[in-house]
Every structure is written in structure tokens, then in C-alpha cells.
Structure 1
Amino acid sequence: MVVLVTGANGQLGQSLRNIAPHYPDIEFVFCDSLQLNITQRAQIESVFNQYQPEFCINTAAYTAVDKAESEPEKAHAINVVGAQNLAEVCQEKGTVLLHVSTDFVFDGTQKTPYTEDDLPNPTGVYGQTKWEGEQAIARATSRYFIVRTAWVYSQFGANFMKTMLRLADERDALRVVSDQVGSPTNAVDLAEVLVAMVRYASQHDHPAFGIYHFSNEGQCSWYDFATAILKYSQRTTPVFPIPTTDFPTPAKRPAYSVLRKEKIKRLLGIEILDWEQRLSQLLSSPL
């Protein structure tokens, strides 16, 4: 079974590469943006012709939330055109597409966890392009899984956890927003779930394709997340909570973006671990 992974140098792509040896029955093909630029349709077709993947996991994305406000064309090219290109080629080749999306498709005004049936209403360019990418995939192919996730961190790439560790070593104190709530997601857990979806789809004649939500269990604010990061990394730099209004950014963040995960738990029969447990496990070993 051949599984093609795009965006191989991102933190999720690196997490998939990290767990790949655990699955000797799967032949993973990892392509970075130089080997496979998803905005180039001909390049996608060439790679698919070469490897003939049964599954494609698309982790390639424009994820610079604030920068997207000043680079909407670039965000659109990768998150919409790129997603559509992949979906169209997957449809032609009979390949199942697994595409990673985001909590930023929602506006964050809800007070209860978002389900897959809740109506997206993005408030910025990044969320808008990810939502348009989802719609483009649904138009181009029927054989897809879209997995929305949130607050992804890992030992790989750039992310909130690594930023907090760096700043804690550089500054006397940290000030972190406390009125935005979500669920941190360990990228390795997300990678494991994507592989579980590949296995599920390979074993069923009529897989339940569609949109699914995944993050670790529990919820917290960015301030809570930062406090836990320093606690479990045994750093003593003080952290102070601040409101969003004290930390203006070009892109508006959802105030509440907790995702409901019952659908994916039923599909895969999995237990999802708590965010703080997974964070402590990661930080208990050298990064």
C-alpha cells in the first residue's frame, strides 16, 4: 500500500515520517514542496504517475495566519488551488485523499464544541482559504477525508510550544492571551489518526468519507497552555495572563474553537488522550 505525503518538511509531515517505521506494511512516499508543489497540476500528475499511491495525505498548507492577511494570493494558491489540484488528480487516479484543515474555519462565537455539521464562518484570510479548500475538494472528488484540527504542536517545525520554550529562555516574564480557548493537539497523535484512517479506508468497501474533527481531549486558554509548557519543561519564568485586546494581531483569532470529536472516535474506535497528558509526555524527554 503506497501512501503519498505532501508537505513532508512541515511539523505534521515530519511527525508522519517519525512514525512511518512503525508501519512496515505501508510504503510511505514523502514529498516536500520542492519535490511536489501542489500549486502545479502537472507536477502532481507526474508524481502520481511515478508512485501510483492508493492514498494521499495532504499536510501541505499555507499556515502563517497573520501573514496571510497581507499575502492572500499566496494563501489562496496553496490552500485552495493546491487542494483542488490534489483532489482532481486523486479523483482521476482513484486515490483516496486525506486533507488536513483547521478550527479557523469557524468564527469562535459558539460556547459549545464545534461539530462537523456546524456552519463555517471564517474571520480571516487563512480560515477563509482553508474553508474554500474544503469546498473545492468536495466538488472535485467523493473519496476524501477532511480532518479539522487545532493548536498543533510537536518537537518538529515551528509552533506555540517551541516558541514558549525559546521565549522563556530569553525573557524575564511572558504575557500570554487568556481569553481564547481551544484544545492543543500533539502532531504525532494527529499523524497516528491519519494512518488509522488510511487503514480503515483500506479495509472497507464503502468507507464513511467526509469531514471529521480531531484534537486532544480537554480545553484550555493559550495562557493555560503556556503555563503547562513551562511547568513540564521545568522552567520558572513567570507567565501573566492578558486579554486579546492587549495583543492585537493582523488576523482575528477565534475566541472559542474547541472541536467535538465523537464522530472520529466512533469511526476508528479510538480513545483520545488528554492534551496535558500528551504535553507532559513529550516534554519529559529531550526534544
Structure 2
Amino acid sequence: MRMRVLLLGGENRLGQALLAQAAAEFIQLESVERPEQGWQPDMADDLLTGAKPDLVLNLAFYREQFQLGLEDAAVLQAQQQFDERLIRGCASKGVTLMMLSSARVFDGSKTTSHTEKDEPRPTGALGRLQAQLEDSLRTQCPKHIILRFSWLLDAAPEGPFGQLIAGLKGPSPLTLPEEWRGNPTPVADAARVMLSLLKQLDCAASVYGTYHYGSSEVTTWISFAQNVMQELIGRGVLSGDVVFQPVAYGSLPELRGRPQNAALLGRKLMLVFGIKPRTWRSQLPALLDELES
């Protein structure tokens, strides 16, 4: 790869998946892991000055955004300060910045999958911050990629997939929200998409803008849980069916700020980059293997 790519957050599970796939193709990415004191705003300037990258891939707050969904004011402020400084620095130095966002920028009232043309209307603090950072990146840094995901799943026990597995192994019945819709997307698939983007950007393709990606097909969280349960039964992890207790989506406080419809349509990404979605069903066994390893 001719570009010098600086990856922020190489220690998290998405960063690790990306580094592994890049190494398999003999592509070298310069990775920086989270410092012990966390990501401080002045570090953004130091990293840009020291590494002199052509492109920065910002996964610094992946865990907080996509696995924990933290809406703690102090955490959001730290993210905002660091990301805003990074945006200004990339803009001033002409560096391309790739940033992750999510379906949280929508209110979830749409009945079909969201496209890039839909206007953001976040209802939660994290979604509002993501929408604000998107606006800052668009207005300040012409050379940018905003990549929105729906449900990003990894093997972390504290993440949504890990919690689902723990719930399936726990006492029955398992309480799950009704009609929570989205694209279950394993981090390995997300890493595949990001690496494909990097390779085309390396060819000087002028394809900046906002894109959606989600593994196919759109499903409900209950239906996804049923598929996971059947896979666990087949592996001998569960002895039989788990009883699900559906409850109204709005009755679960842990889902506050998340859109009830988190489904994203990735057609623009396929048309511009030729990146076809993979089915989450075909990737579920590998995701469970990672959880059990």
C-alpha cells in the first residue's frame, strides 16, 4: 500500500480484526493503541506530526460507541474533544480521515432501511454526538469517509453479542425487545469492508462521503437470538430451546437512545466501491468460535 495509514485503536477487537486481514494480504498499517490515560486531545496533534500519515482510520472509541453504548457525559466529552481536534488536524494537513458512525444518528421511526439520504434525527446523547462529529468532519475536512454501521458484534463478554450468549445460557425465560430491527454485522465483516475501502483509496479514487454497511439480511433481535440459540444447541452448548419473553421495545432502559429500526441499506457502498454484503448467517459460526476460544 502506497498510502501511510495510521490506525487509532489497534488494541480493540475491530482494530485487531482489521490488522489480521491486512497482514494476510501483506498490507502494513501503522497501529496506535489506547494509552493508559485514555485518548487526550493533544495526542491528536502529536500523532499527526509524528506519523505524518496520508490517512487516519479512527477506531479510538469503538468499544465505548459500539459495544458499551456509553452515554456517560465524561466519556462523551472526552470523545468529542479528541475527535474534534483530530478533525481539525487532518483538515489543516490535508490528511484523509475515515471515521465510524452508526444508525444511532436516526430516530428509528422509519419503517424501511435507512439510506445515506435520510436526515439524521438522533434521540440519544451518543447519537447526537455522532451526528455532530459527522457534521464537523463534512464541513472541515473535504477528504473524509464516514462509515455507518448498524449492530457491530464481537466476542467481548460486555458487548451485545456476549450478553446475548450469557442470557441464553442463563435461566429461562429470556427477556428480549419486540421488533428491534437491524443488521447483525460481525467485526470480521466490518474489517473486510474497511480494508476494501482503504485499498481503493490507495488507488487515488475520489470517493469521499458517507456510506452505510450492514451484513445481510435485516432481522429482529429476537429472530437473531433464535438463530444463535439453534447454533448453540447444535454445538451441545445448550441442551434445549430457551423460552423468549418478548417485551415492548420502549420498556427496556438499556435500549434508550438506540433507534428501534437500526437497519441500514448499503447499496451506495456497493455501487461506488463494488463491496457486496455478506450474510450474517454464514458468519455466525466463526463469531461463536471466537467467543469460545
Aligned partner of residue 206 in structure 2, secondary structure: coil
Give the equivalent residue in structure 2 for 1:29: 30
Contact 1:174 1:237 in 2 (8 A): no
Give the equivalent residue in structure 1 for 2:129: 129
Contact 1:2 1:53 in 2 (8 A): yes
Contact 1:38 1:82 in 2 (8 A): yes
Displacement of 1:105 = 0.1
Give the equivalent residue in structure 1 for 2:56: 56
Structure 1 stretch displaced more, 170-179 or 122-131: 170-179
Q: Within 5 Å, give how 1:200-239 maps onto structure 2.
A: 200-204=200-204, 207-234=206-233, 235=238, 236=240, 238-239=242-243
Contact 1:212 1:263 in 2 (8 A): yes
Give the equivalent residue in structure 2 for 1:275: 280
Contact 1:218 1:275 in 2 (8 A): yes
| TM-score w.r.t. length of structure 2 | 0.87
Contact 1:102 1:130 in 2 (8 A): yes
Q: Distance in 2 between matches of 1:142 and 1:34?
A: 29
Q: Distance in 2 between matches of 1:245 and 1:90?
A: 40
Map Cα deviations across residues 222-267 of structure 1 (whole Å, 9 max, x no partner): 1112222222233335141322244233723312121111110112
Q: Within 5 Å, give how 1:19-168 maps onto structure 2.
A: 19-24=21-26, 26-34=27-35, 37-41=38-42, 43-61=43-61, 62-63=64-65, 67-68=70-71, 71-78=72-79, 80-156=80-156, 158-168=158-168
For structure 1, the residue ranges without an aligned partner over 5 or more in a row are none
Give the equivalent residue in structure 2 for 1:14: 16
Displacement of 1:35 = 7.1
Displacement of 1:97 = 0.9
Displacement of 1:20 = 2.9
Contact 1:167 1:174 in 2 (8 A): yes
Q: Distance in 1 between matches of 2:105 and 2:176?
A: 23
Q: Distance in 2 between matches of 1:67 and 1:38?
A: 16
Aligned partner of residue 27 in structure 1, secondary structure: coil
Q: Distance in 2 between matches of 1:39 and 1:137?
A: 19
Give the equivalent residue in structure 2 for 1:198: 198
Q: Distance in 2 between matches of 1:239 and 1:203?
A: 51
Map Cα deviations across residues 95-122 of structure 1 (whole Å, 9 max, x no partner): 2111110000000000111111110000
Give the equivalent residue in structure 2 for 1:256: 261
Q: Distance in 2 between matches of 1:29 and 1:36?
A: 21
Q: Which runs of 4+ in 1 moved over 3 A?
A: 35-39, 64-67, 284-287
Give the equivalent residue in structure 2 for 1:186: 186
Q: Distance in 2 between matches of 1:67 and 1:99?
A: 18
Aligned partner of residue 91 in structure 1, secondary structure: helix
Residue 32 and residue 182 in structure 1: after superposition, are their counterparts in 2 closer, same or farther (change >3 A)?
Answer: same
Paired AA for residue 278 in structure 2: L
What percent of counterpart residues are identical? Answer: 23
The number of residue pairs the alignment matches comes to 281
RMSD of aligned C-alpha atoms?
Answer: 2.3
Aligned partner of residue 119 in structure 1, secondary structure: coil
Q: Distance in 1 between matches of 2:157 and 2:192?
A: 18
Q: Distance in 2 between matches of 1:159 and 1:177?
A: 16
Q: Distance in 2 between matches of 1:262 and 1:142?
A: 22
Paired AA for residue 18 in structure 1: A
Paired AA for residue 150 in structure 2: A
Aligned partner of residue 6 in structure 2, secondary structure: strand
For structure 2, the residue ranges without an aligned partner over 5 or more in a row are none
Contact 2:68 2:159 in 1 (8 A): no
Displacement of 1:200 = 0.8
| TM-score w.r.t. length of structure 1 | 0.89
Contact 1:3 1:55 in 2 (8 A): yes
